[in-house]
Amino acid sequence: MKFFVDTAEIDAIAELNDLGMVDGVTTNPSLIMKSGRDILEVTKEICELVDGPVSAEVVAMDSDAMIAEGRKLAEIAENITVKVPLTWDGLKACKVLSGEGKMVNVTLCFSANQALLAAKAGATFISPFIGRLDDMALDGLELIDDIRTVYDNYGFETEILAASIRSVNHVLECARIGADVMTAPPNVIKALASHPLTDKGLAAFMADWEKTGQKIL
């Protein structure tokens, strides 16, 4: 499973990228606002840092304007993925932009039917939002499973990009189901390395080592 990091913070992306933990980056208007940076400037910097796809989201609501914004964003770098919402206008924009050879990430997906439409419109990625469904007492992971089944039934090449990841359990279950990609904030990716038994074992090793009075260096 590919790891995308969901942030526009350059330092956080660079740290994970240096460890080989970044296959791509996803941003959205909220993350751009949080970074306090100009969208074109920060997106260009991310694209220069990361080799994989970098999702940059349009903010227009009608298809013609989405297409124009998408073309503008795609000029930033070759690894830009234009991010459009899963609305009828978004699907129209997806069809045009993907037809021009641009990568397109269709976001804010909350049903397998929506995912089916996105695949037929030529989406490179479909972004189902797990955490937001869980917030409504629905099963976000069930949506990933449904989309995986539908896509496999018909051989769609659109990649399932599990989004709104809130926990390490989300990551594990998405990997079990077979999501192609997951995108998560840096803190969730780092939390994958944590386990209380690792901490307990390390503390015991260090206590025993101290008793030997030895040094390696």
Phi-psi bin for 20: left (phi > 0), alpha (psi -120 to 50), beta? left
In 3-state terms, what secondary structure has residue 136?
coil
CATH class of the 2-212 domain in this structure: alpha beta
pLDDT digits (tens, 9 = 90+) for 36-67: 999 999 999 999 999 999 999 999 999 999 99
pLDDT digits (tens, 9 = 90+) for 95-122: 999 999 999 999 999 999 999 999 999 9
Mean pLDDT within 76-94: 98
Domain boundaries, the chain: 2-212
Q: How far apart are CA 118 and CA 90, in angstroms?
A: 9
Known catalytic residues?
Answer: 83
Separation in Å, CA 93 to CA 27, 33, 54, 79, 206? 18, 24, 18, 18, 58
pLDDT digits (tens, 9 = 90+) for 112-164: 999 999 999 999 999 999 999 999 999 999 999 999 999 999 999 999 999 99
Burial of 103 (0-12, 13-18, 19+ CB in 10 A): buried
Q: Is the pTM of this model over 0.85?
A: yes
